[in-house]
Amino acid sequence: MSAIPAPLGQRPRGDKVRGTIFYVLLLISVAVGFIVLFTLIVDVVQKGIGYIDPLFFTEPNNPTNPQEAGAKPAILGTIYLMVLLLMFVVPIGVGTAIYLEEYADRERWYNRLLELNIQNLAAVPSIVYGILGLAFLVRGLGLGRVLLAGALILTLLVLPTVIVASREAIRSVPDSIRQGAYALGATQWQVVRRQVLPAAIPGIATGSILALARAIGETAPLLLVGALTYVTVDPSLLGSFTALPVQIYQWIARPQEEFRYLAAAGIMVLLAILLTMNAFAIWLRNRYQRRW
């Protein structure tokens, strides 16, 4: 006589109920994030849409009169930072990745330490990078709170991300390509420059753009390194500057309600920039990704 009391084909009710409750809980877990995302976007658009007008893009900030305030220096600052960042972080990041993937002997302790170091840097709080910038660049080197300092610090902040993405891209180039090039009498650099790098460029580009997008949203380091409260002039390399996320923060920090709406408008612009960059990166990846 079977020990199973219930007729075959029917699970005990308690079991089923538990299973369903569990499933619902899981669904809720997933849903929460999306609900918040949706709510956030709707809220921001609701608050900010009224303040998105040509004025917003052409006028500098006006701490006394929110009706006439704009985000021009902030937007320019963000764009300039992006350009500088691109110039700094891509060569250094890709160079480090090439060194680690193609040249470094993994068995050596210093190379392993290098890898560990990069992993650690990726998780250091962003405000610590701000402290680094404050100590060395702003006060130490006497650069002051200038655009260049901000760009340099953001470079260091996203460097680990670019390195990791570039390494992945380089690693995905099959070894048979390298062997074929070596067998023709190419030197190591020739193999890297003419075969590996060109094949890895799509991955590197995608990773770099995503890293850049992350940097654009960073506020904390810039608070320490630069962006000042009241900037009316357009940013220049060695002049005072502000950036969109910082401007947003400053608007939020003001008591008057209208500045909140300005902040929301600023957020809309920031999110739009981020969305464009991410979409571009994904398009790049889909269009140029090679299936080996």
Q: Site residues for another protein, window 152-171 (CB under 8 A)?
A: 156, 159-160, 163
Is-contact 271 42, C-beta < 8 A? no
As measured in angstroms, the least distance from the Cβ of 276 to another protein is 12
- Does 19 bind another protein (CB under 8 A)? Our answer is yes
Closest to another protein by CB, 26 vs 54, is 26
* Interacting residue with another protein among 49, 53, 68, 99 (CB under 8 A): 99
| DSSP state letter for 82 | H
- Identify the residue whose tokens are 């029917």: 10
Stretch that binds another protein, among 50-58, 79-87, 214-222, 230-238 (CB under 8 A): 214-222
Stretch that binds another protein, among 49-57, 76-84, 178-186, 230-238 (CB under 8 A): 178-186
- Cα(24)–Cα(16) distance, integer angstroms: 12
3-state secondary structure of 52: coil
Site string for another protein, 108-147 (x = CB under 8 A): ------x-xxxxxx-xxxxxxxxxx-xxx--x--------
Number of residues that bind another protein (CB under 8 A): 103
As measured in angstroms, the least distance from the Cβ of 292 to another protein is 9
* Interacting residue with another protein among 18, 236, 256, 288 (CB under 8 A): 18
As measured in angstroms, the least distance from the Cβ of 39 to another protein is 7
* Interacting residue with another protein among 223, 239, 254, 284 (CB under 8 A): 223
Which phi and psi angles does 198 have, rounded to 5°? -55, -40
Closest to another protein by CB, 90 vs 147, is 90
- Does 230 bind another protein (CB under 8 A)? Our answer is no
- Does 290 bind another protein (CB under 8 A)? Our answer is yes
Alpha helices in the chain (DSSP H): 13-48, 54-58, 72-98, 109-121, 126-133, 147-171, 175-183, 188-191, 197-216, 220-225, 244-252, 257-288
As measured in angstroms, the least distance from the Cβ of 133 to another protein is 9
Buried b vs exposed e over 263-291: b needs ≥16 C-beta within 10 Å? Answer: bbbbbbbbbebeeebeeebeebbeeeeee
HSE-CB of 103 using CA atoms within 13 angstroms: 12
Burial class (CB in 10 A: 0-12, 13-18, 19+), 164: middle
Stretch that binds another protein, among 65-73, 79-87, 232-240, 262-270 (CB under 8 A): 262-270
| DSSP state letter for 8 | T
